[in-house]
Chain A
Amino acid sequence: MTAQNPDNRTADNPKIIGKLLVLVVAMFGFGFALVPLYDVFCDVTGLNGKTGNKVSFEIAPIVDESRVIKVTFLTSLNESMPWNFQAEQSFIKVHPGKPTTVNFIAKNTSNKSIIGQAVPSVAPGLAAAYFQKTECFCFTQQKLKAGEEKLMPVTFIVDSKLPKGMNEIVLSYTFFVSNKNEQDLSVATYDETAKSKSLTLSLNQDHIL
C-alpha cells in the first residue's frame, strides 16, 4: 500500500493520535479547571453577587457622609433546615466607608445538634464587589445544639467607590445544613451576653422566613 501511495502518511497515525489524546486529557482537565477559574472570574469582576466567605480587609476606609445607602437584610433557610433565622432589623441606612455591625439570630428548634453553613448573596450583583464584610458568621460553620439560640453579628463596610446610581443593596443569607454534620468543625464561640438580648424578641412561628 505504501509503495503505491507515496502520499500515504499512515506512519504518522501514532503521532496525531498521541496529540489528540493529549488534547482530550487537557480538555477534561480544563473542565475541572473551570471550577476555580469561575471563582477567580467572579472575584475579579465582582459578578454573580458572590461576596465570598472570606474576610476582606480595609485600609483606612474613606467615609462619604454625603451618601446614604440602604442595606436590606433577607434571611432564608434551605429546605429541611429546622432552624429559625431572622435579622434583628430588616434594613439599615449607612454611609459608605463606615464600618457597621448588625445582628442575626438563629435558633435550632429541632431535637438534635446541627451544623449549619450560611451562604451570603448580594443584590444587585455588581454591588458585591463594593460590599466588604470584616466579620461574618458565614466565614465559619455554625453549630447549634438542640434548642440553642445564638446571636450572630456581621460587620460590613460599603465601599465609597460604589457606583453613583446604586443606593440600595440587599444582603441575603441562606442557612444550609452543612454536609459536614458528622464532624465537629471550627465553630464560632457562643456569646452568653447576647443570649439575654435575643430572648426578648418574639419569634412569631407563623412568620415564615
Chain B
Amino acid sequence: MNAVVEEHHDHDHKPTGLGRWLFSTNHKDIGSMYLWFSFTMFFIGGALALLIRAELFQPGMQIVEPEFFNQLTTLHGLIMVFGVIMPAFVGLANWQLPMMIGAPDMALPRMNNWSFWLLPGAFGMLLASLVMSIMGLGSAPNFGWTFYAPLSTTYGPDSTDYFIFSVHLMGISSVMGAINVIATIMNMRAPGMTYMKMPIFVWTWFITAYLLIAVMPVLAGVVTMMLTDRNFGTSFFSAAGGGDPVMFQHIFWFFGHPEVYIMILPAFGIISSIVPTFSRKPLFGYSSMVYATASIAFLSFIVWAHHMFTTGMPVAGELFFMYATMLIAIPTGVKVFNWISTMWRGSLTFETPMLFAIAFIFLFTMGGFTGLMLCIVPADFQYHDTYFVVAHFHYVLVTGAAFSIMAAVYFWLPKWTGNMYDEKLGKLHFWLTTISANVLFFPMHFVGLAGMPRRIPDYALQFAEFNQIASIGAFVFGFSQLIFLYVVIKCVRGGKKATGEVWEGAKGLEFELPSPAPFHSYTTPPEVK
C-alpha cells in the first residue's frame, strides 16, 4: 500500500481551552477523551475490586456489611463492562479507524461528541448512587451487573430507577458510536481500499458495530420493562401478574452474550495488528480471520441460554445451547492458530506491545478452555454460579480484553504523542501485571471447583487459603496499574522522538503519517494500491 505524500499544512491548529474538549468534533481528541475516561473508570472500578478482595482476604466480615458488599460487586461489574472496556475500545476506534482507512475523521463528528459526553453523565449518576449509599441515604444497585428480576424489580432499591436511566444513556452512546463506525467504514475508505484490503482492526470493529446495533436496543427494552414493572404496574417479570422471572434472563442474555463478544472482537483486531508488526511477517490467513470474526459474531446470537442451565430448561434446550456454544470454539481456535502461525518463522522482538499480545494469546486461550468446560451442561451444574465462572470471565476480560487495550495503548502511543514511551517501565508494568493477574485469578478456578459460590461476602474455612492468595494478587495488580498511568503521562509530556513508522516493519496507513499524527490527517485521501 502506497500513500500519496501528505501535503504539509502549516496550520495544524487546534481549538484551545475547555471548549476544545466540550465541543470537540475531532476524532483524535474524542478518542483521547474516551481513553482517559476509561482509564479513570478503571481506577474507580479497580478500587471497588480492592475493597471486595480486602473483605475476602479472610473468612469473617471485617470491613463492610453484606448488603454493601453486594453493591460493590454490582458497581464493579457495571463500571468495568460499561465504563472501562467498552469506552476504551470506542476510544481506540475513534483514534485509529479514520487514519487506518485514510479518512479525515469519523462520518458524523458532532454525534461523535454527544456519544462521548453521554458517558460522564451516565456514570456520574451511577457513582452518585454509590456515594449516597456510603452517606447512609439508601442502597446503590445491589443485584449484580446482571440485575435478575425479581431481585431488581420488586426488591430493588430506589436507586434502581437511576440505574435504568444510566443504562439507557450508555446504550444510546454505544448505538450512536456504532452507527458512526459503520457509516465511516462503509463510506469513507480511501480510493482503492476494498473491504478485503481493510486492516483487520477495522474489520473487527465493523462487525462489533453491527453487534452493538443489534443488541443494545434489546438491553434498552429489558430495562424499560424493568422500569414499567417497578413503577407503572406492568408484570413482565412478576408471576403474580402473569409474567415470568425466567423470561428476564432470556431477554437479558440475548443481549448479554453478544455483549461479551462486543468486548472481545476489537481485542482480536488489536492482537492481529500487533503480532504481525513484531513478527515482521504478514498476518497469517487474513481472510479466514475475517470469516472467523463474522462467524463468532453470528454464533453469539444463538447461545445465550448457556448462562441459564440451572433454571429448569428442558433437556432439548440444554443440548441445543451446549452444541451451539461448543461450535464457537472452532472460529476462535482458528484465530489463535493464525496468530501463532504469524509468529512462526518470523523475526520476533519483544517490545511491550508484543509482550501484552503474547500474554493475551496464552491467557485468553486459558479463558477459552474454561469457557468450553462451562458450556458442557453436566459439568456446568457444578460450575454455575461459582468462582469457576468468575475465573473464566476474568481471564477473558482482564488478561484478554484489558491486556489488548494495554497492548494497543503501548503500540499506538508513539503515533498519538510523537514520543516513545519508557520501554523499561513498560516492561516492568507488563511483568508485574501479568504475574499478579495470574496470582489473582488462577486460584479462583480451584475454589470454584471446591464449592465456593459467587457473590458471597464471606466463605467457609476450606476456601481461605486461595482467597488470601487471590487478594494479595489483587493488590499487586491494582497498584501496578499506577506504573501504567505514570508511563502514559510521561510519554504524553515527552520522550525519545518517534518516527512516522514507529516500529520497524509497521504496516498501515496510520504509520505513513508523521508522529504525532497531525490534528487533521488525510484531509486529502491517500491512494491505496
Contact = CB atoms under 8 A, between A and B. Distances in A.
Interface string A35-79: 100100000010111100100000000000000000000000010
Interface stretch (A146-154, A163-171, A173-181): A173-181
Contacts of B246: 48
A25 interface: yes
Given A1-B523, A4-B525, A13-B108, A117 B240 contact: yes
A21 B250 CA distance: 24
B108 A17 contact: yes
Q: Do most interface residues of chain A lie in helix, strand or loop, or is the interface mixed?
A: helix
Contacts of B190: 5, 7
B240 A119 contact: yes
B251 A34 contact: yes
Interface in B161-181: 175, 178-179
Query: Residue among B222, B236, B238, B314 with the most chain A CB within 10 A?
Result: B314
Contacts, number: 123
Contacts of B254: 31, 34
B347 interface: no
Interface string A104-139: 000000000000010100000110000000000000
A168 B167 CA distance: 45
Query: Residue among B104, B217, B525 with the most chain A CB within 10 A?
Result: B217
B355 interface: no
B312 A125 contact: yes
Given A4-B524, A31-B220, A125-B314, A17 B179 contact: yes
Interface in B182-205: 182-183, 186-192
Given A179-B233, A179-B240, A30 B213 contact: no
B219 to A, nearest CB: 8
A31 B222 contact: yes
A64 to B, nearest CB: 24
Contact of A24 (B217, B239, B244): B217
Contacts of B251: 31, 34-35
B164 to A, nearest CB: 14
Nearest to B233: A179
Interface string B309-329: 000111001000000000000
Interface residues of B, number: 48
A125 to B, nearest CB: 6
A23 B175 CA distance: 11
A16 interface: yes
B312 A16 contact: no
B312 A17 contact: no
Contacts of B236: 35
Given A23-B214, A28-B218, A31-B222, A8 B108 contact: no
B215 interface: yes
A4 to B, nearest CB: 6
B235 interface: yes
B451 interface: no
Contacts of B238: 176, 179
A197 interface: no
Given A7-B192, A23-B213, A179-B233, A12 B524 contact: no
A79 to B, nearest CB: 10
A207 interface: no
Given A4-B525, A27-B215, A125-B312, A16 B186 contact: yes
Contacts of B15: none
Contact of B221 (A4, A31, A179): A31
Given A20-B213, A27-B215, A47-B317, A179 B187 contact: no
A57 to B, nearest CB: 21
Contacts of A34: 218, 221, 247, 250-251, 254
B107 interface: yes
Given A7-B189, A8-B525, A125-B312, A13 B107 contact: yes
B241 A179 contact: yes
Given A8-B188, A35-B247, A117 B217 contact: no
Contacts of A23: 213-214
B215 A176 contact: no
A20 B241 contact: no
Contact of A9 (B178, B188, B215): B188
B240 A10 contact: no
Nearest to B102: A5
Nearest to B209: A20
Interface in B239-297: 239-242, 244, 246-247, 250-251, 254-255
Given A8-B191, A21-B179, A30-B218, 19 more contacts: A4-B524, A8-B188, A10-B187, A12-B186, A12-B187, A16-B182, A24-B213, A24-B216, A28-B218, A31-B219, A34-B250, A38-B244, A38-B247, A45-B314, A48-B244, A49-B312, A53-B242, A119-B242, A125-B312
15 contacts: A1-B525, A7-B190, A8-B525, A13-B107, A17-B108, A17-B179, A20-B182, A30-B217, A34-B254, A35-B225, A47-B313, A117-B241, A176-B239, A177-B240, A179-B241
Interface of A: 1, 4-10, 12-13, 16-17, 20-21, 23-25, 27-32, 34-35, 38, 45, 47-50, 53, 78, 117, 119, 125-126, 174, 176-179
